[in-house]
Structure 1
Amino acid sequence: MIDSRPGDAFQPGDLVNNTYRIESLLGRGGTSDVYKARSEISGRLVALKVLKAEFSGNDDYLVLLTREEGIREVRHDAVVRYSENHRTEHGLVYLVMDYVEGPALDRKLKQGPMPADEILTVCRRVAEGLQAAHDRNIVHRDLSPDNIILRDGDPAQAVIIDFGIAKDTNPGAETIVGNEFAGKYAYAAPEQLSGNTDARTDIYSLGALLLANFRGASPDIGNSPMEVVTRKAEPLNTEGVPEPLKTLIDRMTAPEPENRMQSAAEVLAFLDAPDAAPPAAPSDGGADPDATVIVPRARNADAPAATVAPAPDPRDKPAPASRGETRSRGGLFAMLAVVVLIAAGAGAWFSGALDGLLGPKYPIADPYTLIAEKRDGDGVNLTGHAPSEDALAALAGFAETGLGTSELQLASGDIPDSWGADVLALLRDMDGLNAWRVVVDGSSVDITGSTADKALQERLSAALASGLPGALTGRAEITLVPQFLAPDEVQAELDGLADCGPLTLPGVPQLGYGPQSAITVTGKVAGTATRVQLFDGLRDLAGDRNVVVDVEVLNPTLCLIESHLPTAPAGGIAIGFTVGDRDEPNPSGRFFVGENPVIDLTLPADVTDGYLSVSILDVSGNVFHLLPNINRQDNAVAGLRGGRDGDVTVRVAYPVADAGPGQIAFTVDDSTLGKSKILVLHSTAPLFDGMRPTSESAKGYAEALQAHAGVNGTRILSLDSRILETAKP
């Protein structure tokens, strides 16, 4: 449970729409928060996903929430059940869904590796849920450990949640949100970086998260935008994973979609008969597969990462001592009794100090670690080891007092007797900071934190510099951060990365971005690498604030034209696509090699005069003029209407089989795959003095637009556009 704040949409005890009584806040995200509530009518527990006030009037985010509501048609125990959207009397929009009690896989991941048999159980259950969703053409697109909950902690009762693409409540697992890409980098399929998703995208993400939970560590995707793009094109390292899990993950996570398992049904078939499948090719070696790399979210790029081995499985019991060892230990009991009586050494037993005499009381952990983290506004979360029941209770009590969580395991290790008390004292010293992270490895400690209180920052930095509590040693970096992040500072970061027109910050708070503000960016960029770089740069700047990158990825050709286009409002001229060889509507605008795109314009009833100029800005760097051109020179609206009133459809690209003289028709080949843009300009007079060639370079067209900018600026009434994308099947 997360502590409520005065600015939250709902408070515990609130009655929403005379039906749902709020019990607690479950999670905060960049665009929405999730509450636990109970129906006053039926008594049923539910979860309410509430769109934040600043987004409740934004049609784009309402579409996302409405899309998530559509999952209610999927009926399967492995998919969270949705009801419907509602709006409160104050205008807040919320989505009702089932409440699922149990830990998410991201919490299990923090606890360390999961056994292979449990991983396979989770895989079967989630694949069954995905099959039910995919059968209704619903793709999750954001599958990651925090989106799978183990009901009552049972892997056989895994439940997929959050089919929206705008959520990010899990610390350290940012989600890019936009009109094309949704997914956490560590688990996203390679094609998602280019905005492509289908059922195979979910198959890849499922395989990646299964590997992460088996390892106890998220996939390593690099530290720079180009590293992300490069590593996503490489197979995941499954060295050391036992069969049949290894072959399953290899086949689920092939970088090329056509080389991986094509459906959830294929995953289930493998689980039913793994021996029937050919073994996967061995993956390239990499880092030690049994090591978990936990990287603190330091504000300083030079802050080191801590490498931590997975915690031992408490089910693994130490091997029994040999008969000789048993006799030697038996002779020590009298001495031990004297030691215990004289030193009153009960504490030594629990600290593990007597392990050399009696053998370890708890499984040995090497290295001996504890990670404590607090994010602004949240409680303290603890994971790792504790040397005794007393120390574990004290540390857990400290976390739970602040409404945090404790996932500690009893373990013996090479630590001083005062370890538990020293760590607890250090955590208490840190608790006044807005956000902090403490990584303890034996007696060595790495500390990072931040606060807006300068006096506190100076006092704590000085105290830690003079020495850590007890036997602990290490480094500390306490950063002073402003309470509010200036929009100008964020905009400067955007301006430095803009490569396809201006990047903007909609809905900037009046006082700047506070600790709980989400930073949302809109605009266009020239490629995937720019979007990755943009997100990473903003994440470093934003600190603990959520970052939502809602940008459209184009390409250098389209960006060149964008920078030369005249400024004009949209005119409501709709651009529709049909697959000509099958006469099927294609609302997505995506065409595959061999298909015949047919393009129709729908002129609104009030567009009755002037001229239309229709062009395709091709990904290859060329411009094709559909109207007017040398074979179809009449582009007057009156002529195109032909005396018809009301909404009128005008065809500008035809089916190949039906194309007559002067009618342009084409099929997709594999030489120019990517995004093209259909551009429709409505003007009071022809744009140019003479006829443009049917095709020309984008640079030549851009220069022509610029040369006529003074005249065209007064002629152009509206500008409408739409993306047409070509791809391999």
Structure 2
Amino acid sequence: MGPAKLQLKGLRMIDSQPSDLFQPGDLLNNTYRIEMLLGRGGTSDVYKARSEISGNLVAIKVLKQELSGNEDFTVLMAREENIREIRHDAVVRYSENHRTPDGHIYLLMDYIDGPGLDKKLKQGPMSADDLLTVCRRVSEGLQAAHSRNIVHRDLSPDNIILRNGEPAQAVIIDFGIAKDTNPGAETIVGNEFAGKYSYAAPEQMAGLTDARSDIYSLGALLLANFRGKSPSLGDNPMEVVENKKLPLNTDGLPQPLKLIIERMCEPDPDKRLQSASAVLEFLDNPIADGDAKIDAPIEPPAPDVDDATIIVPTTARATSTVKKEPENAAPQKVKPKKRSAPLVLGLLLLLLTAAGIGGSITGAFDGLFGPTYPAAEPFTLIVEKKRSGHSRAVGNVPSPETEEALKQFVDQTELTLASGDINKNWANDVLAVIEPLEPLLEWRLAVSNNQARLTGITNDAALAADLNNRFGNGMPGNLEGVAEITFVLPSLPLSEVRSVTEGLEDCGPLRVFPAKAVGGFGPEEPIVITGRIAGPESRIQIFDALRKISGERKITVDTEVLNPSLCVVEQFLPNAPSGDIVVEFRVGGEDKANPSGRFFVGENPIIDVVLPSGMTSGYLTVSILDVSGNVFHLLPNISRQDNAIADLRAGATGQFPIRVAYDLAESAQTGGIAFRVDDSTLGKSRILVLHSAEPLFDGMRPTSESAVGFAEALKESAARDAGLVLSMDSKILITAEP
């Protein structure tokens, strides 16, 4: 098969299976002829195809069948399509999304011919010169992406392909979890780090990502490829988190590679090179940035670490290939006896010829010799059953009887009566192959003339052994070809996954996707965990615990990192839908909008709560759950007790903003609550907005209280207030060093 030509995260070139949406030879959208499967991922598969109009090769990324109806994942594909606005040779070009008639969503992109840096990593160390060339090329691509506020977020060796094997033609691929940092934009897959952590920037472990995170990841993968090994981060979650805070070990690297990696991989994002443009400037004049020795010795490879993001199902495959000489493929010619009356024989031949012409025209001899059908070359037939249960037969058959027989095995047929270069028992041989396949999870029989290929999948080891024994000596009759019956691991019960996640919930419930009622997870089905956690080490604990039971399924822990104080309150919050209330931030003293919600030490956050036009009655409760473990009740409180929406609106209609945290100068005049960020405790705070039919709690809460005290109040009032809460909305406010 050769090296993988295109790799997206979690994908590599593998053999086709009957369950694959497209098979080699399929024609997609009357334009793209599928040539091979390049790889399978947690949410999508990638195929190599060729345009029958232009002849150009393309890669086609197809959303998995079970996810095509899920809006979150269709948004993923639509957002990835938007990255086509990045126009640079170092960034894979996307085309557009399409949908097949039966609802499958696929995305067209460039086909990149060349090895990935992950393959180069397995082959051993790369030279410093080649890696500096890769650094320049990838930085140019990142510069183009970052200029459009697109951050990759998952740069790693498997996401960089060397077109034609040339470092100077490196291409960044797989923006599947890229983040649009434009104000108000959402991320493609959650809002946190979701995947391997060997190349992630330290701030990503806490859910913070910007363009500087891509700079760190690029430097880390350059270091790995120089050593020929992925970095070693420790044996447990706490070690991983702590090691991420330390500088990377660059001992033994030659200059200027050593210096630029150190500058790109500063643990503190404020101290590293701040942009791709800065990296390029450094590459142009590296010595000016500091004293550098040019020829330092090379250090031996560092220990490896299992990133555990590429998952391939465990299989046990038995293959038999047998070629047989056709038996009785054509009737033997019988030597005629000599006649003593050649004239009589001539007359008989003349009569038979005339009768034959007439019988052929009228069809009178069809019952004797059989009808004559148009020739098909090659004479092909595909019969298959998908794991969904859908089955079909498409292609050529030699008789109506064969067509009727096939209908007993499939629920859809698209068959054409034809003649061809097939043996006389072809139909019976094909039916003999199909007959025992019904118990398989899925199967596919492809026949061309007398050549056949059978593939099938089962999670019953005994059944796999039986069928492999049955076809161990080759196909039935005169068929020649290959039989591959693959045993796969049985489904992983949903209950087992939930038993793991429930034991690790430290900030409210963790949700498992897809949340099936029965069946569990198939051998190649991804496990996605969402929810909130108390710290970055919790994500690693969840990931590692699931990896012990998941076989080789892909795991994505897409969780929001809060903090222990916020999580104390989280578990007692009411279960209520969103009310479409918007929380907006501004910077005090500057009257400037701050959509990111990030405020630096010394700044004054202004907080406005914007009610939708249809929200005209009920009561509003607004609190801020501070990173330090305190809760401030912004509305109502002792100095502002009226929280009736009708009174707050005072007759105003439409969308209506309510200021709950003020500019410092405005607070001095009105007495409203105002804040200034100090450096005592930095991190995430949560703005919580509850809309209720009646006032909540038993009396007025103090303006400030501990998170534990507020959690107890929520717990005590849960039974009384649960039916009163109409909606709940929230937004995160982040405080940080400038």
TM-score (normalizing by structure 1): 0.71
Which residue is 2:322 aligned to?
none
Specify which of 275, 294, 301 is matched with residue 291 of structure 1.
Answer: 301
Specify which of 197, 207, 214 is matched with residue 202 of structure 1.
Answer: 214
1:440-455 correspondence to structure 2 within 5 Å: none
1:667-717 superposed Cα distances (whole Å, 9 cap, x missing partner): 322223111111111112211343222111111112222222232123222
The alignment status of 1:235 with 2:247, answered yes or no, reads yes
Which residue is 2:35 aligned to?
23
Residues 148 and 159, structure 1, Cα contact 8 Å, conserved in 2: yes
1:237-269 superposed Cα distances (whole Å, 9 cap, x missing partner): 111111111111111111111222112222222
Provide the rounded CA distance (Å) in 2 between the counterparts of 1:522 and 1:72. Answer: 28
The alignment status of 1:685 with 2:694, answered yes or no, reads yes
Seen in structure 2, the aligned counterparts of structure 1 residues 36 and 163 have a Cα distance that, compared at 3 Å, is same
1:511-530 correspondence to structure 2 within 5 Å: 511-530=519-538
SS in 1 for 2:209: coil
Residues 614 and 680, structure 1, Cα contact 8 Å, conserved in 2: yes
Seen in structure 2, the aligned counterparts of structure 1 residues 296 and 673 have a Cα distance that, compared at 3 Å, is closer
Over the matched positions of the two proteins, sequence identity in percent amounts to 65
Q: Which amino acid aligns with 2:234?
A: G
SS in 1 for 2:247: coil
Residues 255 and 292, structure 2, Cα contact 8 Å, conserved in 1: no
Which residue is 1:180 aligned to?
192
Which residue is 1:47 aligned to?
59
SS in 1 for 2:62: strand
Residues 698 and 717, structure 2, Cα contact 8 Å, conserved in 1: no
- The offset of 1:290, in angstroms, is 1.6
Provide the rounded CA distance (Å) in 2 between the counterparts of 1:526 and 1:486. Answer: 27
Provide the rounded CA distance (Å) in 1 between the counterparts of 2:574 and 2:293. Answer: 54
Aligned length: 552
Q: Where do 5+ consecutive residues of structure 1 fail to align?
A: 168-175, 299-372, 381-450, 459-479
Q: Which amino acid aligns with 2:562?
A: L
The alignment status of 1:489 with 2:496, answered yes or no, reads yes
The alignment status of 1:60 with 2:68, answered yes or no, reads no
SS in 1 for 2:658: strand
**Structure 1 runs of 4+ with >6 Å offset:** 295-298, 377-380, 451-458
Specify which of 209, 221, 224 is matched with residue 233 of structure 2.
Answer: 221
Provide the rounded CA distance (Å) in 2 between the counterparts of 1:68 and 1:147. Answer: 15
SS in 2 for 1:186: coil
Provide the rounded CA distance (Å) in 2 between the counterparts of 1:511 and 1:158. Answer: 43
- The offset of 1:296, in angstroms, is 7.9
Provide the rounded CA distance (Å) in 1 between the counterparts of 2:562 and 2:307. Answer: 31
The alignment status of 1:696 with 2:705, answered yes or no, reads yes
Residues 231 and 303, structure 2, Cα contact 8 Å, conserved in 1: no
Residues 125 and 226, structure 2, Cα contact 8 Å, conserved in 1: yes
Which residue is 2:541 aligned to?
533
1:490-546 superposed Cα distances (whole Å, 9 cap, x missing partner): 111111111112222232453222211111112221111111110111122112111
1:252-310 superposed Cα distances (whole Å, 9 cap, x missing partner): 1111112221122222222222221213799xx9xx93235456899xxxxxxxxxxxx
The alignment status of 1:152 with 2:164, answered yes or no, reads yes
Provide the rounded CA distance (Å) in 1 between the counterparts of 2:688 and 2:301. Answer: 52
- The offset of 1:455, in angstroms, is 7.8
Provide the rounded CA distance (Å) in 2 between the counterparts of 1:711 and 1:508. Answer: 30
Provide the rounded CA distance (Å) in 1 between the counterparts of 2:463 and 2:663. Answer: 71
Residues 251 and 280, structure 1, Cα contact 8 Å, conserved in 2: no
Specify which of 352, 376, 386 is matched with residue 314 of structure 2.
Answer: 376
1:9-43 superposed Cα distances (whole Å, 9 cap, x missing partner): 22223333333332221121111111222233333
Q: Which amino acid aligns with 1:67?
A: R
1:617-696 correspondence to structure 2 within 5 Å: 617-659=625-667, 660-696=669-705
1:301-321 superposed Cα distances (whole Å, 9 cap, x missing partner): xxxxxxxxxxxxxxxxxxxxx
Specify which of 707, 720, 726 is matched with residue 716 of structure 2.
Answer: 707
CA RMSD of aligned residues (A): 3.0
Which residue is 2:141 aligned to?
129
The alignment status of 1:599 with 2:607, answered yes or no, reads yes
TM-score (normalizing by structure 2): 0.70
Residues 572 and 720, structure 1, Cα contact 8 Å, conserved in 2: yes
- The offset of 1:453, in angstroms, is 7.2
Specify which of 258, 263, 271 is matched with residue 251 of structure 1.
Answer: 263
Which residue is 1:718 aligned to?
727
Who wins on radius of gyration, i.e. which is larger? 2
SS in 2 for 1:257: coil
Seen in structure 2, the aligned counterparts of structure 1 residues 537 and 121 have a Cα distance that, compared at 3 Å, is same
Q: Which amino acid aligns with 2:25?
A: G
Provide the rounded CA distance (Å) in 2 between the counterparts of 1:692 and 1:528. Answer: 32
Q: Which amino acid aligns with 1:146?
A: D
Q: Which amino acid aligns with 1:376?
A: T
Provide the rounded CA distance (Å) in 1 between the counterparts of 2:461 and 2:315. Answer: 19
Higher RCO (C-alpha under 8 Å, 6+ residues apart): 2
- The offset of 1:161, in angstroms, is 0.7
Seen in structure 2, the aligned counterparts of structure 1 residues 728 and 65 have a Cα distance that, compared at 3 Å, is farther
Provide the rounded CA distance (Å) in 1 between the counterparts of 2:192 and 2:201. Answer: 13
